[in-house]
C-alpha cells in the first residue's frame, strides 16, 4: 500500500466516523433527555469533534503529501469552496458543543436537570444545518477528483 492509498483510506474512514457521530447526535437529541442520554450525547459530540480534527489533519496531509500536490489544491476553486463549507460546518458545531457541556454541568449540579425544549430545538437546528452542509463535501470531493475547478 502506498502512502497515497493509506492517506486516502484514513481520510475516508474518518469521514464515515464523522457522519456516523453526527447521525447519532441527531437521533439522541430530543426534549426530556435524562442524565444518561446527555452523557451519550456529549460522548457522540466528542467523537464527532475528534473525527473532525483528524479528518482535517489527514486531509491536509493528502494536500501536502498526496499525488496532486498542494499547488493543485490551493489553486483549485472547488477545493477552496470545499474548505469554506468545512469551515462553516466547524463554526456551526461550536454552539451544540458548548450547549452540551453546559447541560452536562447543569446535570452534575441537579441530577433531575432536563434541557429546555427551546434549547433542544435550537441545537437540533444547528446539527441539522451541519448535516445538510456535510452532504456538499462528497459532491465537491467528486468534482475535485475529476479535475473541476482547476
The answer on pLDDT for 9 being more than 80 is yes
- For the chain, give the percent of residues with pLDDT over 90: 87
Give the CATH number for residue 90.
Answer: 1.20.120
Average pLDDT of the residues in 51-73 = 92
CA distance 135 to 7: 22
**Is residue 77 assigned to a domain?**
yes
Report the domain count for the chain.
1
Among 19-28, 29-38, 47-56, name the one with the lowest average pLDDT: 29-38
Boundaries of domain holding 68: 3-145
Q: Does residue 38 lie in a domain region?
A: yes
| pTM, full prediction | 0.92
Residue 79 has pLDDT above 90, yes or no: yes
Domain contains 105: yes
Q: Does 73 reside within a domain?
A: yes
Q: Is residue 29 part of a domain?
A: yes
Res 1 pLDDT > 70: no
Q: Confirm whether 150 is domain-assigned.
A: no
Residue 91 within any structural domain of the chain: yes
Give domain status of residue 13, yes or no.
yes
Residues in the chain, total: 150
Contacts 24+ apart (CB under 8 A), 85-94: 85/133, 85/136, 85/137, 85/140, 86/56, 86/137, 88/133, 89/52, 89/130, 89/133, 89/134, 89/137, 90/52, 92/126, 92/129, 92/130, 92/133, 93/48, 93/49, 93/52, 93/126, 93/130
Secondary structure letter of residue 68 according to DSSP: S
Enter the C-alpha cell of residue 60: 491536509
Amino acid at each position: 500500500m502506498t502512502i497515497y492509498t493509506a492517506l486516502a483510506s484514513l481520510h475516508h474512514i474518518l469521514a464515515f466516523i464523522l457522519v456516523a457521530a453526527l447521525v447519532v447526535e441527531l437521533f439522541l437529541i430530543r426534549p426530556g433527555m435524562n442524565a444518561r442520554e446527555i452523557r451519550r450525547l456529549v460522548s457522540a459530540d466528542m467523537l464527532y469533534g475528534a473525527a473532525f480534527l483528524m479528518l482535517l489533519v489527514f486531509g491536509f496531509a493528502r494536500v501536502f503529501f498526496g499525488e496532486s500536490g498542494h499547488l493543485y489544491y490551493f489553486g483549485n476553486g472547488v477545493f477552496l469552496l470545499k474548505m469554506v463549507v468545512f469551515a462553516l460546518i466547524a463554526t456551526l458545531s461550536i454552539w451544540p458543543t458548548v450547549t452540551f457541556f453546559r447541560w452536562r454541568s447543569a446535570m452534575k449540579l441537579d441530577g433531575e436537570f432536563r434541557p429546555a425544549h427551546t434549547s433542544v430545538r435550537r441545537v437540533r437546528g444547528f446539527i441539522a444545518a451541519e448535516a445538510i452542509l456535510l452532504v456538499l463535501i462528497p459532491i465537491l470531493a467528486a468534482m475535485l477528483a475529476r479535475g473541476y475547478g482547476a
